[in-house]
Structure 1
């Protein structure tokens, strides 16, 4: 009797779900047809280039859609109680419609109506991206702030997935009037796929990304999905679990939308990038008879102290170096007029950018941006002839992940991926804007610097090299700069009194496996590198969270075009790769 009752209950539940599915599908098809008719003669409609449009893979056309329908249907059913709670909260907080619809750009640039829980007040301009609003916080309701922070405002898009206008994973649908984003995505074919609730760009910065960076990430997603069904499935799985991690940590949400972080310029930072004065285009004359006084602003730093020691040993007759502590405000009492050169190294180093408060972010801007500008202005006012600022390769964003390539050339536009990179980039622009014929500004954007006593990724690799007996032979490339090569470069640069944008690096790119093997050899440790481990590295690179992050740090790719690092008249690459490892590890044996 009990079994019959149980069976009857199961049959009843199945029947109810089937009936609900049929009703929802019928309503959905009707709504989609109505929306298509309403947009049929829309004057703002985009055109799709049929010649460049790629065909869907089997996964994209069939498997992916089946997954979308099944998961979205059960999502609608299971989350219905939550929908009710949110509906009541919105009504109580700010009376008006619960749902908010917008005209968005779908697959093949066709318009559709996207649904969200309303998070903004009724008087908010309707068809305007949040980042274009002046002080967007004033329009967000109390409930809306929570909904946006937790991404719960996106839940009604489960309906958009169910009816086929969206997918669970894909590029976020652009507003109909975001032509800059649509055009940028055209370069990568990112308008040829169904937009998604979440995607590759969402878990790699979300609202903190500038449009060119976001479009490039969308293009990376499309490339994976269009290549073959297996890669498409793996990419969607990575995005799905990456989204869970991002939402749990509330990462990447910046009120103001796309690129808002980069638009919050500090005082005295120009909105436009000053004319790019790439140093490799000029020739230089090193005056070995000159004697100059140098002030290093930033006491106790690894780079500053290394330079001071190197210069006193190799250029003691040319450079007289003092250092001032920038932590105490007493530095402002220092008389800069007695110096020919100010070398600014003070700054906060790379942070775990996904786990910091707004207060910590503000501190980065105060030190890396505001302090740098103040020092540069003081130096110029005091008649200092040359100002040298340690910027960073980070202004070009993060390195490409495992399996991808990234080379920075003279046409690469700086696009910082986080607040650390942006704080450096804003200072980079601001100090270059101060340059003139009497005040030469040299901005140095070095890649990863390593040497004895250095911090960061190199010491981690060195420890692994001295413990492991096998290491993956991944064929990656990175630009790196040994501290001796940097110091030699600085000494020669100071004796030229010139300015410009410099990207010094070692004479050859570095392969992680070769570096680790060389460290092991110099340390007297036996190690073998093998390609047999590469499939495991590839698999680990698709695991969301810290695992893929560590893989990308170790085996990612990021290089400067070598021609950017060659300066006629400056012979600074005094140590080759093997010699730099011996210099770094040899004395510690």
Structure 2
């Protein structure tokens, strides 16, 4: 009883002390807010406050913080109306949480302050004029991470060699986002919220105008927001403003929780943090893309200039490859044709009538294809076949369909191609020829052991095709793992659905081989250029972990997906269950991959990394 009385007294005392601290801090904040929003300095206030604006480019104007010459012009008053949640509930939560954060983080504030002063003598805090709610200017606070000699109102990405200005302590606090902690005071004062669009600089006119299209300037700016968890400082201005607009449109408790958890995940994972800021990503990406497209590939024709790439000579620069794709409406066939046509456009940018690759596709349904003259082609790319799972394997008739199409038809096409002078035959086989192996990793010593009619029919087709090969007829057999890309049906589409539906997903820790369709298309292009035969195992340059793949897909769509540890034992148990649950679990969560050196080629065909490929799929999807 005495113990309960003792604790009760301390709780009452502590509550009273916290109450007094809250009142005193609130009074201090109310006084200070007038200074932070330039109440006593009317010349510093924003003339566009509360108005809707557009950006007007004007060469005679100075360059703004977005690197563009121009100015803002008002076109009317803002018609935006806040909801009860943003006016009352959100502010109450911000006030309560920021107060306790200031109290409990005060030792950390003190330690960081001492470190900053010792490293580079000067003020602990860095203040900067930012755009707040309704475009009201306010002073934003940060821990100073840059030297005293740094230009004040210039975004980091506008500085030449910004690294030279960052202090040693600054690098640490930036890497862990600790420099943003003083903004908890800005939240307590009422100039910011924990979640909302990041406040732009007062002279980021392009960003301000873009955000006005979506009413993103009409809500309280935040310590973090939807745009930050979708790419943080790496996003282009238009994309960032659009995502901020999405936040405003869907603003509510669930959206704020999504942004909160996404921020924690992004900070812990150190994702998307670059020395730069708004709108500096595009140019860098374009350069990387240009280099990526030509890295390790056959080179442009002599005398052809391609997007800044030096003039280089392609092997047999006058050669034109005529390619026949056998199998209409095949995803792989259509994508390879599209890729080669795009390649033609790149290398003959200034001579569109020229082509390196001439592609034609024919259907193998019925008997009509047998009348086709193959003699005018150099290469047959055979993709016709029955895909795994397209038909069941319950009856002998169903099983025979796999062998009739995947094995017998492939052989018949190859025989015709050889007899009519085709020099190279490329056959799309499958990783499923290893369906029965017990080890997760496939090496050169691994013996194929298919467990399905699909895998068995493909393997038998390989044997028959290899028998046809001679000095004049080269056979290239591809055993790709799971192929994914825009418009591809199958497991990738299911992953996208999971990423959309699930804000959390188990941490799997498996390894699986996959290949992005454009990486596969580049590999096929190189085989054609080199007129090479053999058995090949193309794959991406990194294995996929199912959980991380789901997270990357979610990130590309600006969704949040947090991986939860501790499920590995459960997932392994699920793989051992009989029936459909066990089969699906094994397919989704087990490991199966080619040894990387098994997939290496003398020229680079992996032009897209896993993350880049997922971003590209989303870009293509947006373009429609």
Q: Is the 8 A contact 2:215 2:245 kept in 1?
A: yes
Alignment CA distance shift 1:12-1:265 (3 Å): same
Shift of 1:473: 13
Equivalent residue number for residue 349 of structure 1: none
Aligned to 1:378: 312
1:9 aligns with 2:10: yes
Q: Secondary structure of 1:251's match?
A: coil
Query: Deviation at 1:12?
Result: 1.2
Shift of the 384–545 alpha-carbon distance from structure 1 to 2, 3 Å rule, reads farther
| Aligned-residue offset at 1:162 | 0.6
Q: Report the equivalent of 2:148.
A: 122
Paired position in structure 1 for 2:216: 190
Please say if 1:45 is aligned against 2:39: no
Any conservation in 2 of the 1:341–1:386 contact (CA below 8 Å)?
A: no
Decide which of 482, 490, 505 is 1:462's aligned counterpart: 490
- 1:253 aligns to what SS in structure 2? coil
Counting only pairs closer than 5 Å after superposition, residues 421-500 of structure 1 correspond to structure 2 as: 435-437=349-351, 453=480, 455-456=483-484, 462=490
Asked if 1:19 corresponds to 2:39, the answer is: no
Which secondary structure state, in structure 2, belongs to the residue aligned with residue 184 of structure 1? helix
Q: Which runs of 5+ in 2 are unaligned?
A: 53-75, 322-338, 358-382, 388-427, 429-479, 502-515, 526-553, 565-610
Separation of aligned partners in 2, 1:463 and 1:268: 29
Structure 2 partner of 1:522: none
Q: 2:84 aligns with which of 58, 67, 88?
A: 58
Q: 1:70 aligns with which of 70, 90, 96?
A: 96
Report whether the alignment pairs 1:168 with 2:224. no
Give the drift of 1:136.
Answer: 0.6
Deviations 1:28-50 (A, max 9, x none): 10011233314533265324136
Q: For residue 260 of structure 1, what is the aligned residue in structure 2?
A: 280
1:256/1:108 Cα in 2 relative to 1: closer, same or farther (>3 Å)? same
What secondary structure is seen at the aligned counterpart in 2 of 1:45?
A: coil
**Counterpart mapping for 1:149-548 below 5 A:** 149-225=175-251, 232-264=252-284, 326=296, 374=309, 377-379=311-313, 435-437=349-351, 453=480, 455-456=483-484, 462=490, 544-545=561-562
Aligned residue-pair number: 359
Shift of 1:382: 9.2
**Per-residue deviation, 1:560:** 6.5
Match of 1:520 in 2: none
Deviation at 1:4, TM superposition (A): 2.6
The question of 1:33 aligning with 2:34 is answered yes
Distance 1:268 1:101 in 2: 35
Higher relative contact order (CA 8 A, sep 6+): 1
Could you give the per-residue CA deviations for residues 75-102 of structure 1, whole angstroms, max 9, x where no partner exists? Answer: 0001001001101110110010000100
Task: Give the 3 Å change call, closer, same or farther, for CA 145–543 of structure 1 in structure 2.
Answer: closer
Q: Structure 1, unaligned stretches of length 5 or more?
A: 226-231, 271-296, 299-324, 343-370, 388-423, 444-448, 475-480, 491-536, 563-589
| CA-CA distance at 1:439 after TM superposition | 8.5
Name the SS for the 2:140 alignment partner.
strand
Deviation at 1:195, TM superposition (A): 0.1
Q: Which has the larger radius of gyration?
A: 2
Query: Matches of 1:473 and 1:216 in 2, distance apart?
Result: 19
Deviations 1:183-234 (A, max 9, x none): 1111111101000000000001111111111111111111112xxxxxx111
1:541 and 1:256 map into 2 onto residues whose CA distance is: 20
Counterpart Cα distance in 2 of 1:433 and 1:234: 49
- Seen in structure 2, the aligned counterparts of structure 1 residues 10 and 440 have a Cα distance that, compared at 3 Å, is farther
Measure, in 1, the Cα distance between the counterparts of 2:260 and 2:110: 25
The structural deviation recorded for 1:135 is 0.7
Distance 1:464 1:154, change over 3 A: closer
